[in-house]
A and B are shown apart, each in its own frame.
Chain A
Amino acid sequence: MIPELGHYALVLALALALAQAIVPLIGVKTGDPTLIAVAKPTALAQLLFVGLSFAALTASYVVSDFSVENVTQNSHSAMPLVYKITSVWGNHEGSMLLWVLILAMFGAALAVLGRNVPAALHAAVLSVQAIVATAFYLFILLTSNPFARLPQPPFEGRDLNPILQDIGLAIHPPLLYVGYVGFSVTFSFAAAALLIGRIDAAWARWVRPWTLVAWIFLTLGIAMGSYWAYYELGWGGWWFWDPVENASLMPWLAGTALLHSALVMEKREALKVWTILLAILTFSLSLIGTFLVRSGVLTSVHSFATDPARGVFILGILVVFIGGSLTLFAWRAPMLRQGGLFAPVSREGSLVFNNLFLTTACATVFVGTLYPLALEALTGAKISVGAPFFNMTFGPLMVPVMIAVPFGPLLAWKRGDLLGVAQRLLVAAAIALLALVATFALKGGSVVAPLGIGLAVFVIMGAATDLAERIGLFRMPVGTVLRRAVGLPRSAWGTAVAHAGLGVMLLGIVGESQWNIERIAAMKAGDVATVGRYELVFDGLDQREGPNFRELAVRFSVREGGIKIATLSPAKRAFTHREMATTEAALMRHGFSQLYVSLGDLNPDGSVAVRAYDKPLVLLIWIGTLVMSIGGALSLSDRRLRVGAPRPSKAKLGLQPAE
């Protein structure tokens, strides 16, 4: 009964979405306030019914109702409750249900929070949002019904993929989806603005908080996924340029560019057309990400059972939304009025610079990810484009961006003084140079690492300089400085913190990629392996039985300078049910660095293959992304965004075409 209710609730949500997609748009065209008013309640009711549907599926998982095929395929009655719940989205059908649930949440939030937005635009935005929702409801109901029943329910479920039996599944997909789906709001705003044919600085102000929310969650989602892959897969890597990772990086790059260009539009009314295009592209890339991951075009952990009907359906969704919105853009964008003027060297100019490089970098990731697919479709040749490609293209494009980051916030709007800014950054540059020289003197080796560290320190110190300049640090009395610090808009704090986070992340990336020490050895009891500054002593080997797996665990002592500092116990688990093995790496933190130990095979002679890494500064990669997100959150909490845009003056309103 419960699954049928869930199914029915989803059908009702589809009906509501259809109404919400069509009725308010007619209202906008005819100027009928009654029809326009339909948008809000339908958006709220949609959330109610999708929520019911999601709750029904969750209930089926919690009670282990194996008459539901989806539960049978992905759950087991012996699993802990938390994994039973996370299993709901640990599969294709359930993850799509989570997708529409989050979409409905954003729809409802838009309905409630959009009070400042003019009624017509608000209704049109909700309409576009409902069109997106309709497509995904149809996709779920027609090709991926999570509530399908089995005629003969089995006694026990097939268990969840062991790799997914981890707390990471509770965190990573929901965060990532909030990020992906959040950009649907920006997309809806862009499409609605094009439909209505009017766009101004206020538009950017309404859109920016939604973009920020999506960006914060996407940043956290990508970082969480990276850390999960790092500790769960046992290879010690944190970014593999895997197509699925690229699928999440592309909307992030475009979204970051959007965040910056919307700033120009909000403050200076320039870059309107470009910002609209970016809003469309960002969500398009989110959709392409979903397509790449879900359609089975790419084979990876994320690709589900490859049902051609699903692939074709998602391709259809892509064509309709990307093609449709770009057509709308080509048709309506030329009607938008030109914005404010600015000199190439100015705050606007620096943000254009940022956009230029971020979108170009995004394009290179796009090429690297899709070129193998295109080549195979055209010539049949199969190639793999791996990390070297991205290191040779994405890497060089990021360097100018990093160098420019400290300059941007210090430049004045309209016309900036590059020389003056350079002078103000002298201290930051001197500290960076000092870090560079110190790194070179202490570590030696290739010049890449010192240059990278120097650049990272420059970015961090640049952010500090920006703050110091704004609050008048060292220039004014302490009282004034404090007053200015308190009075400084949160968005200024947010910018500085997010930029500093970028530098911190770069520190981690340089440390991990340049000074990583790897040691692989076959070890027996009593053997000692040296990894960087540590000695790893093989104390003993245990074979244990877990609830649904057999476990081979090795006890290691870690010694530094002859003194025992820790014990580590990595393990390898063999899951009998799915005939799969997982690697449980053991991690030891020291400062921002980690010692990483994982196991390979047990050899016939009783030795165990051991893989150990000393990873200097590796934690800074994720700490940096966390700091970036905090910066985003600070900016989001800025009063000016919450209060909303000032209403355009009446005189100006009178001049607008009454469309």
Chain B
Amino acid sequence: MTRKQRRFALIAGGVAVLAVAVGLVLNALNDSIVFFNSPTDVVEKKVQTGTRLRIGGLVAPGSVVRGDDLNVRFQVTDGNNTIGVAYKGILPDLFREGQGVIAEGVLDTGGVKADSVLAKHDEKYMPREVADALKKQGHWQSDYDKGQAGAPAPGPQSSAERPAATATGAATR
């Protein structure tokens, strides 16, 4: 092969690999991304049932009902709208009424059937998405900001904002 042909082979190979990668990325983006919504978003945008989403807001005080076998139900509110969440599994260490929470799952007629619930590791700390959603609804209290002053540091490699892997999650795995 001449120098030109070799270079062409090299470039063609590179382009082919890149094309495959782009295909994989587009395909994965289509299938696996999840949009964040506040309860108001869900109501206003009329999100279809059966859609997979992340819902974020505050755990409505007094709404947590624990059933048998680690089943739990609670309401997520952004002050204007409220949506129910059903979950089976262990809630994160910092899950508490009145605190920020993000639940990921499928929207059902009665609310969200969550397969993971995230809460932040520092209880004064708000998940950023939740803080933004609350600001939009005019229910932001500025003292949440102060809590961030003593915020944490280079911790274990991943955030403590772990999804609680659940029984339903395990079943689908």
A contact set with B: CB distance below 8 Å: 73-74, 89-92, 95, 158, 161, 163-164, 166, 168-169, 172-173, 222, 225-226, 228-229, 232-237, 239-240, 242, 244-245, 248, 293, 299-306, 341-344, 352-353, 356-357, 360-361, 363-364, 367-368, 371, 381-386, 388-389, 392-393, 396-397, 518, 520-522, 572, 578-583, 600-601, 603-604, 609, 611
Instruction: Report whether B154 and A163 are in contact in the complex, using a CB–CB cutoff of 8 Å.
Output: no
Instruction: Report whether A300 and B159 are in contact in the complex, using a CB–CB cutoff of 8 Å.
Output: yes
Output the nearest chain A residue to B157 by Cβ-Cβ distance. Answer: A225
Instruction: Report whether B70 and A360 are in contact in the complex, using a CB–CB cutoff of 8 Å.
Output: no
Residues of A within 8 A of B3 (CB): 341
Q: Specify which of A301, A305, A356, A381 is in contact with B155 (CB 8 Å cutoff).
A: A301
- Cα–Cα, bound, A91→B152 (Å): 6
Q: Specify which of B21, B70, B128, B132 is in contact with A363 (CB 8 Å cutoff).
A: B21
User: Distance (Å) between the CB of B112 and the closest chain A CB?
Assistant: 15
Known: A301-B158, A364-B24. A306 touches B148 (CB 8 A): yes
Output the nearest chain A residue to B5 by Cβ-Cβ distance. Answer: A344
- Cα–Cα, bound, A213→B62 (Å): 55
Instruction: Report whether A301 and B21 are in contact in the complex, using a CB–CB cutoff of 8 Å.
Output: no
Output the nearest chain B residue to A248 by Cβ-Cβ distance. Answer: B157
User: Distance (Å) between the CB of A112 and the closest chain B CB?
Assistant: 29
Known: A301-B160, A364-B21. A161 touches B54 (CB 8 A): no
Instruction: Report whether B154 and A90 are in contact in the complex, using a CB–CB cutoff of 8 Å.
Output: yes
Residues of A within 8 A of B94 (CB): 580-581
Rank and list the top 10 A-B pairs by shortest CB-CB distance, nearest first: A225-B157, A300-B159, A600-B90, A301-B155, A382-B36, A388-B32, A229-B156, A392-B28, A581-B93, A242-B158
Instruction: Report whether A609 and B70 are in contact in the complex, using a CB–CB cutoff of 8 Å.
Output: yes
Instruction: Report whether B21 and A393 are in contact in the complex, using a CB–CB cutoff of 8 Å.
Output: yes
Residues of B within 8 A of A581 (CB): 93-94
Task: Tell me the chain B residues, 1-49 only, with Cβ under 8 Å from chain A.
Answer: 1, 3, 6, 9-10, 13-14, 17-18, 20-21, 24-25, 27-29, 31-36
Known: A233-B162, A609-B90. A383 touches B155 (CB 8 A): no
Residues of A within 8 A of B170 (CB): 518, 520
Residues of B within 8 A of A163 (CB): 121, 152, 155-156, 160
- Cα–Cα, bound, A26→B121 (Å): 51
Instruction: Report whether B35 and A383 are in contact in the complex, using a CB–CB cutoff of 8 Å.
Output: yes
Known: A381-B35, A397-B21, A583-B93. A578 touches B122 (CB 8 A): yes
- Cα–Cα, bound, A303→B21 (Å): 30
Cβ of B81 within 8 Å of any chain A Cβ, yes or no, is no
Output the nearest chain A residue to B1 by Cβ-Cβ distance. Answer: A343
Q: Specify which of A242, A304, A383 is in contact with B33 (CB 8 Å cutoff).
A: A383
Cβ of B139 within 8 Å of any chain A Cβ, yes or no, is no
Residues of A within 8 A of B57 (CB): none
Q: Given contact pairs A385-B29, A393-B25, A397-B24, enumerate 16 new A-B contacts (beta carbons under 8 Å).
A: A91-B152, A92-B153, A163-B152, A164-B154, A236-B165, A237-B162, A299-B161, A300-B158, A301-B121, A304-B151, A364-B24, A392-B24, A393-B28, A520-B90, A579-B123, A582-B93
Q: Mark B139-173, 1 if CB is under 8 A from A, else 0.
A: 00000000011111111111111111111001001
Cβ of B97 within 8 Å of any chain A Cβ, yes or no, is no
User: Distance (Å) between the CB of B134 and the closest chain A CB?
Assistant: 13
- Cα–Cα, bound, A388→B6 (Å): 37
Cβ of B135 within 8 Å of any chain A Cβ, yes or no, is no
User: Distance (Å) between the CB of B50 and the closest chain A CB?
Assistant: 18
What are 28 A-B pairs with beta-carbon distances under 8 A? Answer: A91-B152, A95-B154, A161-B155, A169-B154, A225-B158, A235-B162, A242-B157, A245-B157, A299-B161, A300-B161, A301-B158, A353-B13, A356-B14, A361-B21, A371-B29, A383-B36, A384-B36, A384-B104, A386-B32, A393-B28, A520-B89, A520-B167, A579-B124, A580-B122, A583-B93, A600-B70, A600-B91, A611-B165
- Cα–Cα, bound, A341→B132 (Å): 56
Cβ of B129 within 8 Å of any chain A Cβ, yes or no, is yes
User: Distance (Å) between the CB of A298 and the closest chain B CB?
Assistant: 8
Known: A301-B155, A303-B151, A384-B36. A396 touches B24 (CB 8 A): yes
Instruction: Report whether A164 and B35 are in contact in the complex, using a CB–CB cutoff of 8 Å.
Output: no
- Cα–Cα, bound, A509→B156 (Å): 19
Task: Tell me the chain B residues, 75-133 only, with Cβ under 8 Å from chain A.
Answer: 89-91, 93-94, 104, 120-124, 127-129, 132
Instruction: Report whether B28 and A164 are in contact in the complex, using a CB–CB cutoff of 8 Å.
Output: no
User: Distance (Å) between the CB of A233 and the closest chain B CB?
Assistant: 6
Q: Specify which of A299, A342, A344 is in contact with B128 (CB 8 Å cutoff).
A: A299
Residues of A within 8 A of B9 (CB): 344
User: Distance (Å) between the CB of A393 and the closest chain B CB?
Assistant: 4
Residues of B within 8 A of A357 (CB): 17
Known: A242-B158, A383-B36. A388 touches B21 (CB 8 A): no
- Cα–Cα, bound, A368→B26 (Å): 11
Output the nearest chain A residue to B41 by Cβ-Cβ distance. Answer: A382
Instruction: Report whether A364 and B25 are in contact in the complex, using a CB–CB cutoff of 8 Å.
Output: yes
Known: A168-B156, A392-B24. A305 touches B150 (CB 8 A): yes
Residues of A within 8 A of B123 (CB): 579-580
Q: Mark B53-70, 1 if CB is under 8 A from A, else 0.
A: 010000000000010011
